[in-house]
Chains A and B, each alone.
Chain A
Amino acid sequence: MTAQLPLPAPPVGGGCRAAPVLKERGQREVFCGLTGIIWLHRKMQDAFFLVVGSRTCAHLLQSAAGVMIFAEPRFGTAILEETDLAGLADAHKELDRVVAQLLARRPDIRQLFLVGSCPSEVIKIDLHRAAERLTIAHAPRVRVLNYSGSGIETTFTQGEDACLACMVPVLPETQARELLVVGALPDVVEDQMRALLAAMGVGPVRCLPAHRIDEETAIGPNTVFALTQPFLGDTHAALERRGARHLPAPFPFGEEGTTAWLAAIAREFGVSADTFAAVTDAPRARARKAIAQAAAALHGKTVFFFPDSQLEIPLARFLVRECGMTALEVGAPYIHDALVGPDLDLLPAGPVISEGQDVDKQLARARAARPDLTVCGLGLANPLEAEGLSTKWAIELVFTPVHFYEQAGDLAGLFSRPLRRKSLLKLEAAE
């Protein structure tokens, strides 16, 4: 019998892919897509993100970033004022002026993203036209693109999706057979991933987004791509429109998810099972060990996900299958079956799968379910803690390196820390 590349075993009682989805449409408690700028501008080192919006947009960026982490960040807001609202011809001239001012101050900037907001969309400032005009005006030094991070169209991580999707049409064409890995990863994680693939002989490997515009890749009908984040639905569609082919797989969270993700690529590139084992056996064993240590506090506990980053489904899969938790509800802002289908297949049937939000109703469900751990946004965490529920704020999951083998233990640790803390503190008054 020839050895096979590993495939995760589907749950005995069936998965969640066919489960009915509770669709909610009410008050949401989620950031808008502008938030993605906070990590994207660190990843793309020659890019500047200019939000065309209001004081609210500027305040959101500042608050979500925690007051001023970076003294002069590569993002800013062109705040619309009363005069801009009066006539649209004006707004374009104003934008040209602000961009010229900005580029003069930052000669290191090679790509500029004009980011639409709710106000710019409601008053219909055509940022696509502006981007074309400004690209010509500032060629060849700076490429100007636009996307929307507005709260009327995007939630939280969808901003990264919109940003990457707007880059796809301008990437050059190639016939080369290459692997494109899509999704902004912390550098340390990206390097680990490249090393694993290189050791299997898979290459060349390109990343979207690249660090700098000069490192950008070309794409074409022989490009195959793997996603590292489950929220990249529009980017997925844009890449398919360019003829590239998606390698569906569970997302690389935890030992099992990472193995399945790598195996999907290995299968595509004809890597032998022996080579695969030789490359992954050691890190797999390390990851299992690290998870076992970090997840001790999670075993047998229940978890409830509020919709936030769209990472909910793959993370629920990880927590249930590798950390021994029971999921009660897994809420996601949106569910793209083409992306998270493989994870839904592996998530054992049982939890409520919900899409969208009606926050007060969902809070009522959470209170009734009394989960051991609630994964939610920053606005809800302390209020729920005050009600005696342990919480993990979801934003940390997008700000911390959590992908692939060497971070699997850290990922489990992010969830177990609130529970460990709760058991450590002896703060109740004496009876």
Chain B
Amino acid sequence: MKLTVWTYEGPPHVGAMRVATAMKGLHYVLHAPQGDTYADLLFTMIERRNHRPPVTYTTFQARDLGADTALLFKEACRDAVERFAPQAIIVGASCTAELIQDDPAGLAETMGLSIPVIPLELPSYQRKENYGADETFLQIVRHLSRPQNRTARVTCNILGATALGFRHRDDVEEITGLLSDLGVEVNVVAPLGATPADIARLPAAHFNVLLYPETAEAAARWLEKTHGQPWTKTVPLGVGATRDFIAEVQAITGLAATADEGRLRQPWWSRSVDSTYLTGKRVFLFGDGTHVIAAARIARDEMGFEVAGLGCYNREMARPVRALAKAMGLEALITDDYLEVEAAIAALAPEMILGTQMERHIGKRLGIPCAVISAPVHVQDFPARYSPQMGFEGANVIFDTWIHPLVMGLEEHLLTMFRDDFEFHDEAGASHHGGSAPRRPAADVPRDISGQKMDAPEPAVVAVATADNIVWLGDAERELKKIPFFVRGKARRNTESYAAAKGLSQISIDTLYEAKAHYAR
């Protein structure tokens, strides 16, 4: 038993739904109780899909348990095939149905349906959503793909895009364009937009482009083994990775055509002087393994950030993420416990978080800006505009997205200079984010004519004890408040660790500035 507050991944049958909903002409018959139909809203509300997911739930109830839930399943199966006339169905059980052991696969096979029936075995009590998607797609490919000759022209399949994926819609479009620059036509995109008939044609392509290892690596490996199709190992996220991806495709195809970099603006935006303030910003990265690995490279090599910590929630990617962390001199945080992530972020006090919607909320609580780089997704991750993460346009989008939550360069200095201004005070936050700028009432801050605040004198030694029992003296605490909010957390933490290292029990103004000098970069 594991106590869970928020989860990064849903159960495996939600992964299967992401594959089924992405496809056309496929239907999913899911043995499940009525409450499990909540999953429809993920697609209709979060992703704003205008169709119900192609899922029939048996919605068995307690009174059915003694009677015949197997019969219920068969009826649901027959009705679904009649009503929706799919080219193929996938059948499976949710966590509850797994316990009643009706064997949906076996039942569906005995029904003599005229279309392919693809059984899914998704262990609900061991695995999660990404596994569910990966395994479902593998089974679909195994059951439906047919041996055949390669196309005359050089073609590839694009694998991994699903419903409810983080920017999958736009990534596919961007990479399709990039491949066309490279002289490669797309044979099939799957699961997103593919029909069962399209899946049958997968082996006609010369190779596979794997965009999301989380949801399609098993299928890519199987296609390699069974149909001899190589697959791309680089995920084209970021400028460097996109260039590596291009080289990888050229090596596979032997074609010399190269991509048009005309619209790539990220490198100049990052080099231009306004971006100097990004230098060495300490960032914490968390998300699915693929996006975190790519983001670490972008953060370090293309933004000039310092990666202060990183990790992923999907254990399937633990190995490469650990290796990457080690290479960067860090220890990876592999967990799906949101409280552990929060604790790690609080302890590291980074200047920025690159994470998921979960980390965005952690950031809100800790007062740390956050940009979203990975699923799990939220309605905001489905913008109306074209907004890929992959390829050259993706690199541009990532630059904009990542700097948006930060206080901008010049503004940083202005805040430091005018920190006592009643309108332009530091609690107002970044000026380009409306809403959260409470005006500090001028009358509340009485001043004498020299501009000194006329606070009642406070005793010098009241103050707050830290975790290590180090005491902040009153004047040091006040001095700390004069430091702008976006670096205050770091200053507090640095000073405390400096004091602890020096064996001090009190922090005075001097300690504060000694620590500042010590950590100066």
**A residues touching B (Cβ–Cβ < 8 Å)?**
26-35, 52, 54-56, 58-60, 62-64, 67-68, 71-73, 76-82, 84-85, 91, 94-95, 97-98, 101-102, 118-119, 121-123, 150-153, 155, 360, 377-383, 385-386
Contact = CB atoms under 8 A, between A and B. Distances in A.
B221 to A, nearest CB: 26
A84 B6 contact: no
B14 A152 contact: no
Interface bracket on B: 35 or more
B62 interface: yes
Contacts, number: 186
A246 to B, nearest CB: 27
Contacts of B11: 54-56, 59
B1 A76 contact: no
Contacts of B376: 67
A383 B51 CA distance: 5
B21 to A, nearest CB: 12
Contacts of B60: 152
Contacts of A79: 1-4
B58 A27 contact: yes
Contact of A55 (B57, B128, B378): B128
B42 interface: yes
A383 B1 CA distance: 38
A378 B43 CA distance: 10
Interface stretch (B31-39, B257-265, B388-396, B436-444): B31-39
B357 interface: yes
Given A81-B2, A152-B33, 7 more contacts: A54-B11, A55-B4, A55-B128, A62-B6, A79-B3, A79-B4, A84-B125
B127 to A, nearest CB: 9
B35 A102 contact: no
A60 B50 contact: no
Contacts of A59: 7, 10-11, 14, 39
B272 interface: no
B33 A84 contact: no
Contact of B62 (A55, A95, A153): A153
Contact of A54 (B49, B62, B79, B96): B96
A30 B37 CA distance: 7
B293 to A, nearest CB: 24
Given A30-B34, A62-B7, A381-B44, A98 B51 contact: no
A286 to B, nearest CB: 32
Given A79-B4, A80-B125, A382-B50, A119 B95 contact: yes
A71 B35 contact: no
Given A119-B96, A151-B33, A382 B357 contact: no
A67 B378 contact: yes
Contact of B38 (A152, A153, A379): A379
Interface string B10-27: 110110000000000000
Interface of B: 1-7, 9-11, 13-14, 33-42, 44-45, 48-52, 56-62, 64-65, 76, 79, 83, 94-96, 99-100, 123-126, 128, 357-358, 361-362, 364-365, 376, 378
B34 A28 contact: yes
B96 A55 contact: no
B65 to A, nearest CB: 7
B3 A102 contact: yes
B44 A383 contact: yes
Given A59-B11, A76-B5, A152-B60, A378 B125 contact: no
Given A55-B124, A121-B62, A29 B37 contact: yes
B37 A379 contact: yes
Contact of A151 (B14, B34, B50, B357): B34
B65 A122 contact: yes
Contacts of B361: 67-68, 71
A103 to B, nearest CB: 11
29 contacts: A27-B57, A34-B35, A35-B35, A35-B38, A54-B11, A55-B10, A56-B14, A56-B36, A56-B95, A56-B96, A59-B10, A63-B38, A63-B39, A63-B41, A68-B357, A76-B4, A78-B4, A79-B2, A84-B1, A91-B1, A95-B1, A101-B3, A150-B62, A152-B64, A153-B61, A153-B62, A155-B34, A377-B41, A378-B40
A355 to B, nearest CB: 14
B61 A382 contact: no
B41 A54 contact: no
A77 B3 CA distance: 6
Contacts of B126: 81-82
Contacts of A152: 33-34, 60-62, 64-65, 96
Contacts of B125: 54, 80-82, 84-85
Given A31-B38, A32-B34, A79-B1, A379 B99 contact: no
A78 B3 contact: yes
Nearest to A77: B4
Nearest to B33: A151
A47 to B, nearest CB: 16
Residue among A34, A379, A386 with most chain B CB within 10 A: A379
A378 B48 CA distance: 11
Nearest to A76: B5
Given A30-B37, A360-B83, A382 B5 contact: no
A386 B65 CA distance: 37
A123 B95 CA distance: 12
B1 A31 contact: no
B38 A71 contact: no
Nearest to B5: A76
Contacts of B365: 71
B35 A118 contact: yes
A32 B4 contact: no
Contacts of B362: 71
Given A63-B38, A152-B33, A379 B96 contact: no
A122 B361 CA distance: 35
Contact of B41 (A55, A150, A378): A378
Contacts of B39: 59, 63
B7 A380 contact: no
Nearest to B62: A152
Nearest to B59: A28
Contacts of A63: 10, 38-39, 41-42
Contacts of A119: 95-96, 99
Nearest to A85: B125
Given A59-B11, A150-B33, A151-B34, A123 B2 contact: no
A122 B123 CA distance: 17
B408 to A, nearest CB: 27
Contacts of A82: 123, 125-126
Nearest to B380: A67
Nearest to A386: B50
A385 B50 CA distance: 8
A425 to B, nearest CB: 15
